[in-house]
Amino acid sequence: MAAKKATKKPNVSGEELKEYYREMLLIRRFEEKAGQLYGMGLIGGFCHLYIGQEAVVVGLEAAAEEGDKRLTSYRDHGHMLACGMDPNGVMAELTGREGGYSKGKGGSMHMFSSEKHFYGGHGIVGAQVPIGAGLAFSDKYKKNNSVTFTYFGDGAANQGQVYETFNMAALWDLPVIFVIENNQYAMGTAQQRSTSSPDIYVRGEAFGIPGEIVDGMDVLAVKEAGEKAVMHCRAGKGPYILEVKTYRYRGHSMSDPAKYRTREEVQRVREERDPIERVREMLLTGKHASEEDLKAIDKDIKKIVNESAEFAKSSPEPAVSELYTDILA
Amino acid sequence: MAIEILMPALSPTMEEGTLAKWLVKAGDTVSSGDIIAEIETDKATMEFEAVDEGVIGHILVPEGTENVKVNVAIATLLEDGEEAGAAPAPSAATEAPAPAAEPAPATPAAVSEAVPVMNLAPDWPEGTELKQQTVREALRDAMAEEMRSNEDVFLMGEEVAEYQGAYKISQGMLDEFGSQRVIDTPITEHGFAGIAVGAAFGGLNPIVEFMTFNFAMQAIDQIINSAAKTLYMSGGQMGCPIVFRGPNGAAARVGAQHSQDYAAWYAQIPGLKVVMPYSASDAKGLLKSAIRDPNPVIFLENEILYGRSFDVPVLDDFTVEIGKARVWREGEDVTLVSFGIGMQYALEAADRLAEDGISAEVIDLRSLRPIDYDTVLASVMKTNRCVTVEEGFPVGSIGNHLSATIMERAFDYLDAPVINCAGKDVPMPYAANLEKLALVTTDEVVAAVKQVTYR
Ligand SMILES: Cc1ncc(C[n+]2csc(CCOP(=O)(O)OP(=O)(O)O)c2C)c(N)n1
Ligand SMILES: [Mg+2]
């Protein structure tokens, strides 16, 4: 099935478009900075960058409302920024400092914000999927009319617990949107080497869960699909699957040389499908913004990101007494 | 002879019940499957069916009787030609003889009465040529050698083939053995662990690589319920010759979900063998033994050790027996027992203690199931003091178990309580300073030794 394009005339204003540009750019610049800090030894362990996939979270967050929940894997920085978490707190968690969202105790893969209804940051591939359905269960139980965006990768889509979850989510009509961020690789394994069916969303059919493929490099297409899925869930019709075709430009994590694909392949996506460039062009050709306006946005973003890096460097390490706190409530 | 109908046991735990109602009377003809009575257990009222055909002779226990013991005769059934109402057989309880309460035999290894003897046998003959090799290379060589000599050995796991291993352990193996025998799996640990167990039942010798043992938690049901228990459950017919291997324990700064040491978990399970090498020669020799072993072997590696070099003997077929400890350093004043990366702290501590005039004997368990108790006990009987060192959580640790064993078998030899140095009782923090504190340190080992030697 071909990815759905956004309907020809986007019903978004220039202001909205500018906002998506800003948000995507924030994620990209933030991730580039995180990559730098990793190179300087300020960030340790695993660090999975979201560069290339920005339109997915930004488009879906545009379809979300206050009270909606979200959770994802270890590739989580973009999701946190897109749902409005503070870049300083995210960056300081990456450096393992007191000012981080988890006081430095979680790290890149494990961050949470109850304020923004961000439920992690999960290091075990696939584990967030039933948890997302559980959050949706709590919403249905409490008659909240909220939905839960449960993000996972094309690799995660092969875990057994995903299908146990599909069954129960459909059985109980849970208001959960399963967002498969299909960036075509699970670490070094191309999707067709791990997945028996060419499309993943079709697996929902067996459980009676509707779904579709979405062009994840087009923020408006993602938003449109997101709105449709959200409507389905809020109408009490149960879960929905969005298989969002996207691409990660960097290696799986900072230590992955990414020899399993050609440089040309990456370059082609960057040149032809970049989600930020696409919006930039729309802004300019639609005369929603001038080059100057965009420069001003760039400058503004750079400032936010630099400040977050400064904060992340200067925030102290957690107090030694933190070692034994937060183990039991 | 009349057949006795006995009070049935209607649940695994039922010892007695109420005979609520008879649905037949003397003289009635019954055939098998007829419901003859209702019996109340503590949980439910059950219908009781006749098993044999015949005519009910006597009702021995009237309905409404409570506390009727299981296996007491409650009625008689007449066979052809016998007459109803004939003298009832004495209704003495024909209780099945209670099984004599035989004590379970003691665990052979843990409570042997023999005087323990230390394993001081060298792993290779004196004069053998040695080469420096990393643990990573040693593991690869072990797998490759075994795959060359046994067609039934194959490797499966995430990124083991085309990517050459997430930690590059299987470098070059796809090229040499092809994709039939070096198999990339999807990220489906529970599924592929189960498939490997089935392949082992089917006569193959799988090596399953977990990208790290943290992810083997997804598969632990297949490892324990299927791989470890089948030999026993099948009365010895069918075993599971399989190796589950991969990095275990803390790497560096990878946080709570990627840093756990599972040594004590797996070491608890009968039906498994568990190995956790420190050096490259042990990695190689033990992995070759593990692949040949007819049992499921959990082979716990360590990411930080992969790049370390050690002497490895240049031999055509070098193996190390599972279940034998290695004495790295002989000493008089205290026994340090460790395994895996814990050895690093134990050996460093021994160096530092030597400067203070304390002579430590350092034992590398290498195998955690079976454990070489004799080597540990013989050493403790000589030094009279013991400190254990491991990276895992402190509660229910290997050190705890050794302490208990030493207390049982060498209590009179001890001059001080055994101290267990372990990881802290917290999920692994990400922050650099907290992570250091959460791990066991050489300082802690030195301090523990000073404590048990009263210095
Ligand atoms: C249960 C489990 N197995 C293996 C891993 C190691 N691992 C981390 S990410 C990853 C690839 C996941 O790919 P995908 O789901 O496509 O997400 P992406 O990284 O592309 O966002 C693997 C194998 C893990 N974290 N958890
Ligand atoms: Mg992927």
Quick one: pLDDT band at residue B73, thresholds 50, 70, 90?
A: very high
- Residue B157 domain-assigned? yes
Determine the 3-state secondary structure of A180 from DSSP.
strand
Q: Which of A51, A125, A193, A195, when mutated, tests ligand 1's pocket best, judged by the most ligand atoms within 8 Å of its CB?
A: A125
Which one of A155, A160, A260 has the shortest CB-CB distance to B163? A260
Quick one: pLDDT band at residue B243, thresholds 50, 70, 90?
A: very high
Which one of B184, B253, B427 has the shortest CB-CB distance to A45? B253
Number of independent structural domains in chain A? 1
Q: Are residues B375 and B444 in the same domain?
A: yes
Question: CB A96 to CB B256 under 8 A?
Answer: no
Provide the shortest C-alpha distance from residue B90 to chain A (in Å).
59
Domain boundary pick from B17, B45, B78: B78
Per-residue pLDDT of B138-147, as tens digits, reads 999 999 999 9
- Residue A322 domain-assigned? no
Q: Are residues B337 and B415 in the same domain?
A: yes
Q: Are residues B276 and B330 in the same domain?
A: no
Q: Does the structure show a pLDDT above 80 at B71? A: yes
- For residues A93 and A80, what is the distance between their CA atoms, to the nearest angstrom? 12
Angle formed by the axes of helices A291-314 and A87-94, nearest 10°? 50
Q: Does the structure show a pLDDT above 90 at B20? A: yes
- CATH code of residue B410: 3.40.50.920
Quick one: pLDDT band at residue B376, thresholds 50, 70, 90?
A: very high
Ligand 1 neighbourhood includes B188 CB (under 6 angstroms): no
Chain A residue nearest residue B218, CA to CA: A124
What is the DSSP pairing of strand B273-275 with strand B296-301? Answer: parallel
Question: CB A122 to CB B257 under 8 A?
Answer: yes
Q: Does the structure show a pLDDT above 70 at B111? A: no
Q: Are residues B297 and B333 in the same domain?
A: no
Q: B 249-278 residues with CB below 8 A of A? A: 251-258
Mean pLDDT of B198-221: 96
Number of independent structural domains in chain B? 3
- Residue B239 domain-assigned? yes
- Residue A109 domain-assigned? yes
- Residue B46 domain-assigned? yes
pLDDT of the residue at B202: 87
Q: Are residues B138 and B200 in the same domain?
A: yes
Q: Which ligand is nearest to the CA of B209?
A: 1
- Residue A318 domain-assigned? no
Residues of A in contact with B257 (CB under 8 A): 109-110, 122-124
pLDDT in tens, chain A (329 residues): 666 666 656 678 999 999 999 999 999 999 999 999 999 999 999 999 999 999 999 999 999 999 999 999 999 999 999 999 999 999 999 999 999 999 999 999 999 999 999 999 999 999 999 999 999 999 999 999 999 999 999 999 999 999 999 999 999 999 999 999 999 999 999 999 999 999 999 999 999 999 999 999 999 999 999 999 999 999 999 999 999 999 999 999 998 989 999 999 999 999 999 999 999 999 999 999 999 999 999 999 999 999 999 999 999 999 999 999 999 99
Q: Does the structure show a pLDDT above 90 at B80? A: no
**B79 belongs to the catalytic site:** no
Residues of A in contact with B190 (CB under 8 A): 160
Per-residue pLDDT of A64-114, as tens digits, reads 999 999 999 999 999 999 999 999 999 999 999 999 999 999 999 999 999
Task: Supply the range of the domain harboring residue B12.
Answer: 3-78
Pick the closest to residue A155 from A70, A73, A258, A254 (CA basis).
A73
- Residue B385 domain-assigned? yes
CA of B328 relative to ligand 1 center, distance in Å: 39
Q: Does the structure show a pLDDT above 80 at B112? A: no
Q: Does the structure show a pLDDT above 70 at B92? A: no
Quick one: pLDDT band at residue B104, thresholds 50, 70, 90?
A: confident
Contact B405, B378 (CB under 8 A): no
Mean pLDDT of B417-423: 98
pLDDT of the residue at B44: 83
- Residue A173 domain-assigned? yes
Q: Are residues B330 and B302 in the same domain?
A: no
CA B76 to chain centre: 50
- Residue A2 domain-assigned? no
Mean pLDDT of B352-378: 98
Residues of A in contact with B252 (CB under 8 A): 44-45
Contact A190, A110 (CB under 8 A): no
pLDDT of the residue at A5: 65
CA of B195 relative to ligand 1 center, distance in Å: 20
Question: CB A106 to CB B258 under 8 A?
Answer: no
Residue with tokens 């400092």: A97
- CATH code of residue B196: 3.40.50.970
Chain B residue nearest residue A195, CA to CA: B186
pLDDT of the residue at B34: 87
B426 touching A (Cβ < 8 Å)? yes
pLDDT of the residue at A143: 94
Pick the closest to residue A179 from A129, A139, A140, A217 (CA basis).
A129
Domain boundary pick from B266, B291, B313: B313
By residue count, chain B amounts to 455
Ligand 1 neighbourhood includes A252 CB (under 6 angstroms): yes
- CATH code of residue A151: 3.40.50.970
Beta strands in A95-236 (DSSP E): 118-122, 148-153, 176-182, 185-186, 189-190, 211-215
Chain B residue nearest residue A191, CA to CA: B186
- Residue B234 domain-assigned? yes
Q: Are residues B273 and B356 in the same domain?
A: no
Q: Are residues B283 and B340 in the same domain?
A: no
Residue closest via CA to ligand 1's atom 25 equals: A124
Residues of B in contact with A164 (CB under 8 A): none
Domain boundary pick from B267, B291, B313: B313
- For residues A114 and A116, what is the distance between their CA atoms, to the nearest angstrom? 5
B194 touching A (Cβ < 8 Å)? no
Ligand 1 neighbourhood includes B218 CB (under 6 angstroms): yes
> Following DSSP, what letter does each residue of A294-323 receive, concatenated?
HHHHHHHHHHHHHHHHHHHHHSPPPPGGGG
Q: Are residues B306 and B340 in the same domain?
A: no
- Residue B99 domain-assigned? no
Ligand 1 neighbourhood includes B215 CB (under 6 angstroms): yes
- Residue A6 domain-assigned? no
For residue B20, which amino acid is it?
A: A
CA of B58 relative to ligand 2 center, distance in Å: 76
Quick one: pLDDT band at residue B52, thresholds 50, 70, 90?
A: confident
- Residue A326 domain-assigned? no
Contact B184, A189 (CB under 8 A): yes
Q: Are residues B196 and B48 in the same domain?
A: no
Q: Are residues B291 and B345 in the same domain?
A: no
Q: Does the structure show a pLDDT above 60 at B96? A: no
Atom of ligand 1 nearest to the CA of A53: 21
Neighbours of B157 (CB within 10 A): 28
Question: CB B429 to CB A186 under 8 A?
Answer: no
Reply yes or no: is the peptide bond before residue A318 cis, omega within 30 of 0. Answer: no
- Residue B309 domain-assigned? yes
Task: Supply the range of the domain harboring residue A140.
Answer: 14-312
Residues of B in contact with A125 (CB under 8 A): 187, 215
Size of interface A-B (CB pairs under 8 A): 125
pLDDT of the residue at A305: 98
- Residue A240 domain-assigned? yes
Provide the shortest C-alpha distance from residue B211 to chain A (in Å).
11
> Following DSSP, what letter does each residue of B107-132 receive, concatenated?
PTTTT--SPP------SS-TT--EEE
Which one of A46, A125, A318 has the shortest CB-CB distance to B431? A318
For the entire predicted model, the pTM comes to 0.86
Per-residue pLDDT of A219-236, as tens digits, reads 999 999 999 999 999 999
Q: Are residues B168 and B208 in the same domain?
A: yes
For residue B257, which amino acid is it?
A: Q
pLDDT of the residue at B85: 55
Mean pLDDT of B258-269: 98
Token reading at A94: 């990456």
Q: Does the structure show a pLDDT above 60 at B109? A: no
Atom of ligand 1 nearest to the CA of B257: 25
